[in-house]
Amino acid sequence: MEKMTNVKALAYVLENCELPEDIKEKISNIHTTYQKKSATSGERKPTEKQIANSNIAEAVYAWLCEQTEPMVVADIMKNCPACTELESTQRLTPMLSKLHEQGRVEKTVIKRRTHYSAVV
C-alpha cells in the first residue's frame, strides 16, 4: 500500500468531500503550501565542502588500492598524501565508512581496531 502523505490526504478531501466554500478554499491553500514544500525538499546540489570531501575520498581510495595490507585510520592519515588537508581522523572516518557502504573498501576489526583495505 502506498504511503499516505499530507498532500495526498488533502487532495482526497478536496476531491471526495462536500465542504462549505470557505473551508474548501482554506484546505486548498494548505494543499498548495504542502505541494510547494515537497517540491523544494528534493535533490539539492552538493556544497563545495561535499565536493572537496568526495575528491579526497576518491584519492584515499586510489591510494588504498596501492597498499598491500589493511591499515588503521591513523596510519592512512599519516601516509596518504590526500589527507594533508584533513585536521583529524574524525574527518576521514566518515569518508571511509561511505566507501565501505559503497562496497569499495573492506572494513576489518583486528584486536579491537578497525582496519581498512581497498576491494579491487
Shared-domain flag, residues 16 and 75: no
Average pLDDT over residues 77-85: 90
Shared-domain flag, residues 69 and 19: no
Non-local (6+) Cβ contacts of 50 within 8 A are none
Average pLDDT over residues 5-28: 88
* Dihedral sign computed on CA atoms, order 98, 104, 109, 112: negative
| Helix spans in the chain (H) | 6-16, 21-40, 48-66, 73-79, 89-101
User: What's residue 40's pLDDT?
Assistant: 63
Shared-domain flag, residues 24 and 62: no
Distance, in Å, from the CA atom of 72 to the CA atom of 61, rounded to the nearest integer, reads 14
Shared-domain flag, residues 74 and 35: no
Shared-domain flag, residues 36 and 62: no
Shared-domain flag, residues 28 and 75: no
Domain assignment present for residue 81? The answer is yes
Higher pLDDT, 2 or 20: 20
Domain assignment present for residue 1? The answer is no
Shared-domain flag, residues 73 and 102: yes
What pTM did the predictor assign? 0.63
Residue 92 backbone dihedrals phi, psi, to 5 degrees: -80, -35
Reported as a single tens digit per residue, the pLDDT across 85-120 is 888 889 999 999 999 999 999 999 999 999 999 987
How does DSSP assign 1-30, residue by residue?
A: -----HHHHHHHHHHH----HHHHHHHHHH
Is the per-residue pLDDT at 2 higher than 80?
no
Query: What count of residues does the chain have?
Result: 120
Domain assignment present for residue 73? The answer is yes
Domain assignment present for residue 93? The answer is yes
Domain with 29, as residue range(s), is: 6-40
Number of domains forming the structure of the chain: 2
CATH number at residue 104: 1.10.10.10
